[in-house]
Amino acid sequence: MQAVTDNTTELILNRTWRPALSITGADGLPVIANAGNVLRANTTVKISLRLPPTCDAVRASAALKELLEQTPPYGARVRFVPDWAAAGWHAPEMPPWLEQAIDEASRHYFNNPAVYMGEGGTIPFMGMLGAKFPEAQFLITGVLGPHSNAHGPNEFLHIPAVKKLTCCITELIARHYEQGKT
């Protein structure tokens, strides 16, 4: 396997602002040992569509249903039943003091400037928080390390990095408190 492109900008756009369709499960397919060149009575697949952060999830689900059901090939019957749709979230611009505080904390504890990364956009919980508190600033962070796999069997925390990150967050909370006093 290899990435679809070597262009870093395109890879970031694919991961954050472009939709991505994945098949997450399938029923009705025989195991390879029993597979033959025959027609199956039915096949069911479960798909997941990661959406750009500002895309209306309900409208996207309706459009996907129409697209999949409108003209299936060879007289097949296709039925799309969405089980849920979740809107994404696009973080508002940070005020200059917060951007500076994040960078200073990163330099202080990691000896490097802060680095930002968009990660998909369909994080329903953040969309709900953003709608409830539209003026709030959120700092969403996490720790991964070499050979880690978030949400997988080898998920782990790199303790030295967690300690540094905890110090950064503590410093940012203190800076936020000071900002509120002015």
Q: Give this prediction's pTM.
A: 0.70
Across the range 63-75, mean pLDDT stands at 92
Rounded distance, CA 141 to CA 116, Å? 10
- Confidence tier at 168 by pLDDT (50, 70, 90): very high
pLDDT of residue 165: 93
Rounded distance, CA 24 to CA 63, Å? 20
Q: Which two tokens stand for residue 125?
A: 């919980």
Residue type at 140 in one-letter notation:
I
CB 12 within 8 A of CB 118: yes
- Asked: is 8-75 a CATH 3.30.70.360 domain? The reply is yes
Domain residue spans of the chain: 8-75, 96-181
Catalogue the E-assigned strands of the chain.
20-27, 44-50
User: Percentage helix, strand, coil, to 5, in the chain?
Assistant: 40, 10, 50
